[in-house]
């Protein structure tokens, strides 16, 4: 009897393990990023300023799809039609990804503790591969409804580097302002244990349930739709194109580009503007 009970337990554990591997889903997120523009005292016509602010606003409003299982996930932008023709955030201008967001095709493997992300920096593709950031989440008791799911609040402190727009737009060669400003910010996340995966949008993960909403100092990401265990199996593949670099190497390349932009007049500078960079 004991042997039969042990065998039954082993079978149940095996079935449970297989079920966990088969558990899949897809979540749609609406992301909004706001960057405070500082034109560095430059004499830019008001209509040009308005146009640039509008482009930045549109570039910061995006829709993403997170495909996930209990080990892997990939976070991809749902490209809008106007973006494919060189609109705000498209290939025709500065991609908002270089302004501190997650880039494209953000792949996470929580079992291995690694990520890969494709970043387009002024037309050159980089494949950033590194270890997943570990946030020291503080679990709260506060809850709220997000769609049909009960979500729990969690917070964490994170050190980030933000572009210094004043330094970018300042043409003064003697300007000593840093292109990036490092600071600590609070991350506020809402996760649901009803969806038992250690996943979330962009670089976020590490909570006992899918992260449905997350906010930092400039970006808010909110889940608008979830499909669990769709009839058609989801294929999750890590990005593979681009020059492979670590996160630290990519940050340095991005910083060097910022310096180059400032030395050449920033956006709309002596090279004719637009922030297109070399192709």
Report domain extents, the chain. Answer: 24-263
**How much of the chain is helix, strand and coil, in % rounded to 5?**
25, 35, 40
**pLDDT, tens only, 94-152:** 444 333 344 679 999 999 999 999 998 888 999 999 999 999 999 999 999 999 999 99
Alpha-carbon gap, residue 27 to 210, rounded angstroms: 9
The low-confidence residues of the chain, meaning pLDDT below 70, are: 1-21, 36-42, 49, 52-53, 56-57, 59, 80-103, 163-179, 262, 264-279
How confident is the model at residue 49, as a pLDDT?
67
Residue 140 · residue 155 · CB < 8 Å: yes
How confident is the model at residue 173, as a pLDDT?
55
Average pLDDT value over all residues in the chain:
78
How confident is the model at residue 57, as a pLDDT?
67
How confident is the model at residue 160, as a pLDDT?
87
* Of 277, 241, 245, 247, the residue nearest 262 (C-alpha): 277
End-to-end CA distance of the chain: 72
Report the run of H or E that residue 54 belongs to, with start and end: helix 46-59
> pTM for this one?
0.74
How confident is the model at residue 47, as a pLDDT?
76
């Amino acid at each position: 009897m004991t042997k039969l009970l042990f065998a039954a337990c082993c079978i149940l554990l095996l079935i449970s393990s297989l079920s966990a591997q088969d558990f899949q889903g897809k979540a749609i997120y609406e992301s909004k990023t706001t960057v405070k523009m500082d034109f560095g005292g430059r004499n830019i016509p008001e209509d040009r300023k308005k146009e640039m602010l509008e482009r930045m606003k549109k570039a910061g409003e995006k829709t993403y799809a997170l495909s996930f299982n209990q080990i892997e996930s990939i976070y991809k932008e749902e490209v809008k039609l106007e973006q494919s023709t060189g609109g705000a955030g498209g290939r025709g201008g500065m991609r908002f990804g270089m302004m501190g967001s997650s880039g494209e095709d953000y792949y996470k493997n929580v079992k291995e503790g690694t990520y890969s992300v494709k970043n387009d920096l002024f037309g050159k593709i980089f494949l950033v591969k590194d270890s997943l950031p570990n946030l020291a989440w503080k679990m709260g008791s506060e809850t709220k409804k997000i769609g049909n799911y009960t979500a729990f609040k969690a917070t964490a402190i994170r050190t980030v580097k933000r572009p210094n727009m004043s330094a970018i737009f300042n043409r003064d060669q003697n300007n000593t302002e840093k292109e990036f400003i490092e600071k600590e910010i609070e991350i506020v996340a809402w996760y649901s244990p009803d969806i038992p995966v250690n996943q979330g949008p962009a670089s976020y993960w590490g909570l006992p349930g899918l992260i449905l909403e997350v906010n930092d100092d400039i970006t808010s990401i909110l889940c608008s739709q979830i499909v669990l265990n769709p009839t058609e199996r989801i294929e999750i593949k890590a990005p593979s194109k681009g020059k492979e670099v670590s996160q630290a190497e990519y940050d340095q390349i991005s910083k060097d580009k910022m310096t180059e932009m400032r030395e050449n007049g920033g956006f709309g500078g002596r090279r004719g503007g637009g922030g297109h960079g070399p192709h």
